[in-house]
Amino acid sequence: MVAAGRRAEYAKATRESILAAARELFTTKGYFGTRVEDIARAARVAPATVYAVGGGKNGLIRELIETAVRSEANVEIRARIAAFTDPHELIVFIVTTSAAKFEQWSGLMRQVVAAAPQEAAVRESLELAQQSMRDGFARTAQRLADLGALRADLDVEQATDVMWFFIGNASYFTLTDDLAWPLPRSTEWLIRTLEPALLTAPAQ
């Protein structure tokens, strides 16, 4: 039993080391600029181990994204969305959360977006990440609707689309890369802009 436990711990540590190496190299060298041999060297394992653990580069990209999607942090985010009773506080939460996720994952996601048009498996991983993000926006839109806070000209699906436009990764890329806005400035502006785009005007 002890030996089996140690083998499991070693396998887990090896997997985590490979995933960490893959994420770092994909971010710094790009998907196409990274070889399995590079990942193996950084993780201090044989290339065959990288294939066995992750199934090659495509599998590693998917595993990185699936791990983030399945994380306890995402479970907590969904629970918090459902618990809000103040629509303005919910808007602040979903914007600040999306900004934090962007800051955490933007380096990798830039490379995923760049590689997706040329690599079907990477495109599937991108779609998985996007679907997870849209799910969070849809839950937010539904909660706003339940609170009677959505604008009269918006339904839940339309409100989800509005959030996708304002706080999807593409928006953050535009604000932080193209316009060189610092992320805190971008976050503050998005909160101010998203509230009137989604919420019914307060009674006068």
Band of residue 11 on the pLDDT scale cut at 50, 70, 90: confident
From 140, 156, 31, select the one nearest 94 (Cα to Cα): 140
Q: Which residues contact 187 (CB under 8 A, 6 or more apart)?
A: 95, 96, 99
CB 122 within 8 A of CB 41: no
- Entry pTM: 0.89
Strands (E), the chain: none
pLDDT in tens, 174-200: 999 999 999 999 999 999 999 999 999
Q: Classify burial at 143, counting beta carbons within 10 Å of its beta carbon; exposed 0-12, middle 13-18, buried 19 or more.
A: buried
From 196, 200, 191, select the one nearest 167 (Cα to Cα): 191
Interatomic CA distance for residues 25 and 159, integer angstroms: 37
Angle at alpha carbon of residue 80, lines to 76 and 84, rounded to 5°: 180
Q: Classify burial at 99, counting beta carbons within 10 Å of its beta carbon; exposed 0-12, middle 13-18, buried 19 or more.
A: buried
- Of the chain, the percentage scoring pLDDT greater than 70 comes to 97
pLDDT in tens, 23-54: 999 999 999 999 999 999 999 999 999 999 88
Interatomic CA distance for residues 98 and 95, integer angstroms: 5
Give, as one character, the DSSP assignment of residue 150: B
Fold of 2-56: Arc Repressor Mutant, subunit A (1.10.10)
User: What does the pLDDT read at residue 202?
Assistant: 61
Band of residue 204 on the pLDDT scale cut at 50, 70, 90: very low
Q: Which residues contact 152 (CB under 8 A, 6 or more apart)?
A: 200
Interatomic CA distance for residues 94 and 136, integer angstroms: 8
User: What does the pLDDT read at residue 8?
Assistant: 76
Q: What is the largest CA-CA distance in the chain?
A: 71
Tokens (6 digits) for 1: 């039993």
Band of residue 12 on the pLDDT scale cut at 50, 70, 90: confident
Domain boundaries of the chain, sorted by first residue: 2-56, 71-198
- Of the chain, the percentage scoring pLDDT greater than 90 comes to 86
Interatomic CA distance for residues 132 and 78, integer angstroms: 11
Q: Which residues pair with 199 in a beta bridge?
A: 150
